[in-house]
Amino acid sequence: MARLRNFYAPTDKRRNAKDILAAKPKALKIRQHSYLTAMDLRRIHYFRYGSEQPSKVPVMTYKEIAQRVKLPASTCFYALQRYERDGLRFVDRRRMNLRKAWPSKTKLKGPIAEYILNHQVLTAWAGFSLVKRVHEIGKLGVSVKPQTLSLFYRRNKVRYVVCKYQYQQARKQPKSLLQAFSVELARRTEAGENIVYFDETSCNMWMRRRMTWSSKVRPVKFPLNKVRGHGITVLGAIGVLLPKGVFSLSRSTNKEAVMLFLHKLRSVVTPNPMGVREKVVMVLDNHSSHKT
């Protein structure tokens, strides 16, 4: 009955305040946190061995030490083990364990935000997933999650969209040459010359990402590597004056395959070998196999 009275004492409005407070359990007279200072470790070591020098002969139990330093006995036991393992030196465990008392940078703002949104960085990271991007950002001293980076991109108008590919050689061509080529092609087309467009494509086994994080204002182009595995090459040519398109297959893109294709193209343009050969203007890129 006495236990029941003590159990219902906090909710019994008829009893006075003194009886209610007396029925509540007393607070523990120990520290409620387990972080120890250098002085605490030295005191625990001194109470355990009776000296500040390294020793293996205990003179006091952990329960007795806990009563003196007002800490749990288990805390004293593990703290003394770490203290002895560290060579009787105080080590701040908060920095080593990266607890919330010493948080790392988690905000994408300032110079780090400008760096992540830079067009050159977006192009260099075009093949990276969010996890890989977070890993690269971690090297800069900023710890974020992939979801945080995704929200940061969307907030700054960088979307996960289908990206266009750009070959390495196309990145080296100046715009002036492209403009001059366009003007010359328009002049020959206006003159009614027999223009044939020739190109080839290779089907390879190289896997590549179809989508990446890109800005809508300045889209990112994915730079392709030069080595993309074995495959097959399809050579083709079309033109306004050609009766039909001309195609052929080859195991590789080399000069021998291109020469065989040009002989096939000539036989289509001029079916009669003894007849007058018509002049053909070939439009092709600057591939090494196209050069003689």
In tens, the pLDDT along 201-215 reads: 887 766 667 788 888
Among the listed residues 127, 202, 132, the one whose alpha carbon sits nearest the alpha carbon of residue 165: 127
DSSP state of 212: E
- Residue 165 CA, chain-centre distance (Å), reads 20
Task: Identify the bridge partners of residue 287 per DSSP, sorted by sequence position.
Answer: none
Of the ranges 3-7, 10-14, 217-221, the best mean pLDDT one:
217-221
Contact 212, 220 (CB under 8 A): yes
Over 50: is that where the pLDDT of 114 sits?
yes
pLDDT at residue 31 in the model: 44
The per-residue pLDDT for range 54-65, each reduced to its tens digit, is: 778 888 999 899
80 pLDDT band, cuts 50/70/90, is: confident
pLDDT at residue 53 in the model: 81
Q: Is 204 helix (H, G, I), strand (E, B) or coil?
A: strand
Residue whose structure tokens are 């800069």: 140
